[in-house]
Each structure stands twice: as C-alpha cells, then as structure tokens.
Amino acid sequence: MDAQETEFFQKVGNAFAESMASVFSMLTGREFQMKSEAGAMLETPAIAKLQEGTGILVKANYQKGLNGTLFFTLPLKEGTMLVDLMLGGDGAPAEELVGDSKDALAETFNQVMGSANQTLSDLAGETFAIANVEILAMAPEAGAFAEQLGQGGFQDVALPTSQDSLSTTVHLLFPDLLLQQLKRKLGLGEPVPPPAPEPSPASVAATLAAPVRQQAPVASGPPPDAGNLDLLLDIQLPVVVRMGQTEMQMGELLKLTPGAILELNRSADAPVELLVNGKLIAKGEVVVVDGNFAFRITEIDTRAARIRSLA
C-alpha cells in the first residue's frame, strides 16, 4: 500500500470510527473509544470467519453520490449488548436480535452512516447519502454470507471499539467496485496528464516559416447567461419551522407515551428558525392566521446569501 492509499484509508477509516464512537456514546450515555485499521482484501469465505458463531450483517444501500452497498459485520453477542445499553440496560447479551432491538440497531447505523457520509461529502465536494439500512443475523457458514454479499473482493477496515463493559471489533467491508468509486471521488488514482513535449528546433523553424493566414472574423453574440436562476425557480424544497431540538437515549425514546413532555434547548422568548432544505435562512415567530399556524419572518439573510446556502 503506497502513501496515497494509506492516506485514503486513514481519512475514510477515521470518518467511520469517529462517527461510530460519537453515535454509540450519544445513544448509550457512555464513552466509547474507537480507531480504524485498514486490513486486506477478503473473499466471502474469509468474511464468514471474522466472527465466531452467529454474527450481525449490516447493509447500507447508497442512493446518492455512490452506487452499491456498504457492509458492516459484528458479533451477535456484542451487538445485543450494545442495544441493551441503548435501551437503558446494563449491557446484557441476548441470543437473538428481533423486534425493537433490531429496529434500534438499524437506527443506530442510520445515524452512523449519516455522520460518516457528511464527512466524506465534505472531502469529495459532493453529497453522499444512503437509502436504507438492513440488519441481518448471519450464521457462520460461508454460504449464508455469500447469499447476501455476492462474489468478489471486499476491502476490510477493522474498527476496534472499547468501553467499560463492551469491547469488540466492527468490520467495515467495501466491495471492490464501491471502493474504486470512492477512491475516484476523493481524488485517488486520477491520471496525471503527461507534460507537453519540448518543441524541436526544426518544428519551431517550420512554424515561423509558414505563411500567416488571416482568420475570418467570428461573429460575436451576447455571452451565455450562466446564472440563469429562472431555470431553478420551480424546484420544490422542504421548508421546516424549528422551535428547538433535544437529544434522547434510545431507551427514553421508546418509553414516550401520549402526554409526555419534551424539554427543548430553546427559551420561550427565543426566535423560531426557518430551515429550507436543511439550511437556516431566517428567524421569526409563530402566529395564527385564519385559524392556522403561520410563521412571521423577523430576520432573514440577503437574497444572495440564501442562494449560496442552498447551492
């Protein structure tokens, strides 16, 4: 592995390690430490041997920026311990992953992918996003993994994690085609154009001796309108009025019932935020118009700033 590839795997591995440690810590209320270690290219039989006994296979299906599926695998025992911590328990293992536990783990990896993809998007200069996450309990036989993974090589990136009561290694598996896409997006392996050859004295002399032919004038017209905003005015964008936000452990979320009160991180007299396509562009207050809630703008960015924020 050359220096360029080493740097690539450090960036990608760190993006997932930091995202996973942050999400695990946030959802369990406990501090997780995680690092990344780039491994070798593995075939399906070798992947089946990464876990002793039954494992968990996580499939993250890309829908934007990349084409393909990214995989994670981790032991069933430690996976169920992690879910128990998220649900407010002490990290007790379970023999299977079903129901609320399976949904909780799927949401956990949804958040991991969202955070990691944001980091990768910043590095690549374009948006990466997944469509969904699938959670599967996998028997250790190679045939079970082959059915889900398919054939071909997979780049293994080990993500060892440690916490007071839970230590394990999550394996991040890049199918070769997906890995090559990501390398191109991050600028690894792009061909460098060869330098132009030095002109020989004979060719310089021939050029100077050639008769000069007058070029016919080219008709000039108005420059193209590169900033034609009219083409974009009919695009629909999601608009959200946000009164505040908070963070909860998965266990607290599942205990919510009608009548429960959530305390937000915003005082009662603070302005309400207007977000368009996830970007804050204005502040104001909630009012009532003809019996319906409405939003009155009190502060707003300039038109140019709004266009830049939505680009």
pLDDT band at 197 (very low <50, low <70, confident <90, very high): low
pLDDT band at 258 (very low <50, low <70, confident <90, very high): confident
Q: One-letter amino acid identity for 16?
A: F
Q: What are 114-132's pLDDT values in tens digits?
A: 999 999 999 999 999 998 8
- Would you say residue 186 has pLDDT above 60? yes
Sheet strands (E) in 16-153? 33-34, 37-42, 55-64, 69-75, 129-138
pLDDT of 72 reads 94
pLDDT of 216 reads 47
Mean pLDDT over all residues of the chain?
82
d(CA 12, CA 9): 5
- Which residues 6+ apart lie within 8 Å of 138 measured at CB? 48, 51, 54, 55, 56, 57, 73, 144, 145, 148
Helix (H) or strand (E) holding 76: helix 76-86
191-227 burial string, b = 16+ CB within 10 Å, else e? eeeeeeeeeeeeeeeeeeeeeeeeeeeeeeeeeeeee
- Would you say residue 236 has pLDDT above 80? no
pLDDT band at 75 (very low <50, low <70, confident <90, very high): very high
pLDDT band at 181 (very low <50, low <70, confident <90, very high): very high
pLDDT of 224 reads 44
| 3-state DSSP helix/strand/coil % of the chain, to nearest 5 | 35, 25, 35
Residue 77: name the closest of 59, 58, 54, 100 by CA. 54
Structural tokens at position 246: 């908070």
Counting residues of the chain whose pLDDT is more than 70, the rounded percentage is 83
pLDDT of 192 reads 41
pLDDT of 65 reads 92
CA 100 and chain centroid, separation: 24
- Would you say residue 191 has pLDDT above 50? no
pLDDT band at 15 (very low <50, low <70, confident <90, very high): very high
Is 108 within 8 Å of 86 (Cβ atoms)? yes
pLDDT band at 182 (very low <50, low <70, confident <90, very high): very high
CATH number of 267-311: 2.30.330.10
pLDDT of 302 reads 78
Q: One-letter amino acid identity for 294?
A: A
Q: Is 233 helix (H, G, I), strand (E, B) or coil?
A: coil
pLDDT band at 311 (very low <50, low <70, confident <90, very high): low
180-189 burial string, b = 16+ CB within 10 Å, else e? ebbbebbebe
Domain spans in the chain, listed from the N-terminal domain onward: 3-185, 267-311
- Would you say residue 159 has pLDDT above 70? yes
- Would you say residue 112 has pLDDT above 80? yes
CATH number for domain 3-185, candidates 3.40.1550.10, 1.20.810.10, 2.60.200.20, 3.30.470.20: 3.40.1550.10
- Would you say residue 223 has pLDDT above 60? no
- What mean pLDDT is predicted for residues 139-165? 83
User: What is the 3-state secondary structure of 110-148?
Assistant: HHHHHHHHHHHHHHHCCCCEEEEEEEEEECCCHHHHHHH
pLDDT band at 209 (very low <50, low <70, confident <90, very high): low
pLDDT band at 195 (very low <50, low <70, confident <90, very high): low
Structural tokens at position 52: 């002793």
Same topology, domains 3-185 and 267-311? Answer is no
Structural tokens at position 195: 């330098």
